[in-house]
Structure 1
Amino acid sequence: MHVLARESSKYNEITIYEAGQLDGKLGKYRCMQFSDDAVQGAMDLNDPKRVVLEYPRAMIHLMEHNHSTFEHVFVIGHGIGAIAGHYSDKRFTVAEIDEKVVELSRIWFHYRQNNIAVGDGRQLLMHEEPRLYDYIIVDAFTKKGSPLHLTTLEFYAIAKEKLRPQGSILINLMGRIKNDRRINAIHTTLGETFAFTKVFALPAEEMSDIRNIIIMGNDKSIDFQPRAMAGFTEIQLDAGHIIRDRVSSLSCMNE
């Protein structure tokens, strides 16, 4: 691994590095990584337009398969801009709380689109017009994990208000597929707002291993083609508790 940059911000400790392999696959990769050692974005330097990581590839399939004519997407969490950068012909609004992430994505990953607003994603989404978006993507991480105020019943109600009738929410998470109180709670809370939900996860050696999990919510049935899901498979989660806003979690939105 060859480190190109290390930066610290109020929200993250960020490393940009190049490596000759990624997840066991040989090549030439440039990666953005936060302090939890999770890769937040990766570029194939031999094919920069290729979407490298499995979770954005799976999300792209779910978006295209369930609403092939979608036009307008709101993204919370920029990373290197893999999904927004993939669609030069669509209208994306990207919310990123960490200005340093935006800066590094432009320097090292050549993100050139002028569609990023720096600020808290929930607050920015609240000011959008109702029924404007076909998809809302939540892909937000800090060194403390997924921000609590982006996982509550009240947040999902805001998201639903901003979605068109056929619109969907897609959430990228890291967690366990069994006995993970937080993951179960997020899924159960989302199910209180949307009539249909599906959960997908990458395989791992042990049931207790932390892995990428995608949750999708919609008010119509959700469809997918297993071969196009980049290794993600549908899973069932146990019931969890309902996550509600707390004064302490909402105050952090203004910090």
Structure 2
Amino acid sequence: MMAYTRLSILFLMLAFSVAVSAQREVIHEERSQYRNVLVTEFNGQRCMLFNIHRGDMNQTCIDLRNPQRLVFNYTKMSFAGLLLNPDPDNILVAGLGGGTIPMVMRELFPEATIDVLEVDQAVVNVAKEFFNYEEDQRHQVHVVDARVFIKRAGLQGRQYDYIVLDAFSGEYIPEHLLTLEFLQEVKTLLSDDGVVVANTFASSQLYDYESVTYQAAFGEFYNFKRAGSGNRIIIAMKSELPPQGELRQPARDLYERLLPYDINILEYPALLSTRPDWDESARVLTDQFSPANLLN
């Protein structure tokens, strides 16, 4: 009887999985030298994902019934950096996806200059055609490797108030974008009160190495995790971090502006931590030692 029950449960789970797959419609596929970029629709959501045959996770999803609402927790969490710099004038976003983060930044800060870095033209094409992504005179996407752009920008003396590092997929981390040398190059771009917001994994074999690398580049940083999310957000500054208690007032000031995007920023200050929860004896990732994808 027990074996029969287990078999029945497995059958039902398989049937449900097949039904869901059948309902997920691929409406577009864009091929590039890097990957296949697909657009699917399911249950009122349109999503971008890479290499669906490998089971990759969604990169971007929009709610077709309410496009302003952010779907993913990690996307909402990336705006926690506004607690440290609530009015950025110059913004840099590494990794486009569907363009959700830069488009929200454009709505929040219409006078800001926004540079977006995306290595794959196919991703740009799909973002514009299917995810309402738009450029303008103050908001431009650069089809370039993020490290190349950042290195050149540093040599030119450019400065940014808000830098988002989001050039990761669900299973792949570009090794050259996760080394001490790269993070030091990012740090040179920060204005005096500039903030770096990095989207990465909440748990992996890479966690300790990644954490000590950010620690070596920036010193103390805020570690931001939420229950139910497989991502964490690292928030760092060139200058000393403000005390956690000082973040409550910026949260109150930003609350109404962020609510249309389904971001309850009032919850965020209490979830930020500077307490190391990693092995601080782990080896720092460098250009000579960066086995990031093996560790992940």
TM-score by length of 2: 0.71
Following superposition, the deviation at residue 126 of structure 1 comes to 1.3
Following superposition, the deviation at residue 143 of structure 1 comes to 7.6
Match of 1:48 among 64, 67, 85: 67
Instruction: Write out per-residue CA displacement over residues 53-102 of structure 1, whole angstroms, 9 at most, x where no aligned residue.
Output: 21121111x23221112111111100011111012212110010011000
Does the 8 Å CA contact 2:62/2:70 hold for their aligned counterparts? yes
Per mean C-alpha deviation after superposition, the further-off stretch among 107-116 and 222-231 is 222-231
**AA in 1 matched with 2:145:** D
**AA in 2 matched with 1:101:** V
Does the 8 Å CA contact 1:11/1:142 hold for their aligned counterparts? no
Following superposition, the deviation at residue 146 of structure 1 comes to 1.2
Q: What is the aligned-residue identity percentage?
A: 25
- Asked if 1:220 is matched to 2:240, the reply is yes
CA RMSD of aligned residues (A): 2.5
Which residue does 1:94 correspond to in 2?
Answer: 116
Larger relative helix fraction: 2
Following superposition, the deviation at residue 183 of structure 1 comes to 2.0
The residue correspondences of 1:222-237 to structure 2 (distance < 5 A) are 222=242, 223=244, 224=247, 228=265, 233-234=271-272, 236-237=276-277
User: Relative to 1, partners in 2 of residues 1:123 and 1:134: Cα closer, same or farther, differing over 3 Å?
Assistant: same
Instruction: Write out per-residue CA displacement over residues 212-248 of structure 1, whole angstroms, 9 at most, x where no aligned residue.
Output: 1211111322545695277894464312320010399
Match of 1:74 among 71, 92, 96: 92
Match of 1:162 among 176, 189, 202: 189
The residue correspondences of 1:1-255 to structure 2 (distance < 5 A) are 1-20=24-43, 28-35=44-51, 36-60=55-79, 62-88=80-106, 89=110, 90-114=112-136, 115-128=140-153, 129-130=156-157, 132-142=159-169, 145-176=172-203, 180-204=204-228, 211-218=230-237, 219-222=239-242, 223=244, 224=247, 228=265, 233-234=271-272, 236-238=276-278, 239=280, 240-246=282-288
User: Relative to 1, partners in 2 of residues 1:174 and 1:143: Cα closer, same or farther, differing over 3 Å?
Assistant: closer
Which residue does 2:6 correspond to in 1?
Answer: none
| 1:40 counterpart SS class | strand
Aligned partners of 1:192, 1:9: CA distance in 2, in Å?
36
Aligned partners of 1:134, 1:167: CA distance in 2, in Å?
4
Instruction: Write out per-residue CA displacement over residues 96-132 of structure 1, whole angstroms, 9 at most, x where no aligned residue.
Output: 0011000000010121114000010010111114351
Q: How many residues align?
A: 233
**AA in 1 matched with 2:265:** A
Following superposition, the deviation at residue 39 of structure 1 comes to 1.5
Unaligned runs of 5+ in 1: 21-27, 205-209, 250-255
Unaligned runs of 5+ in 2: 1-23, 252-263, 292-296
Bigger CA radius of gyration = 2
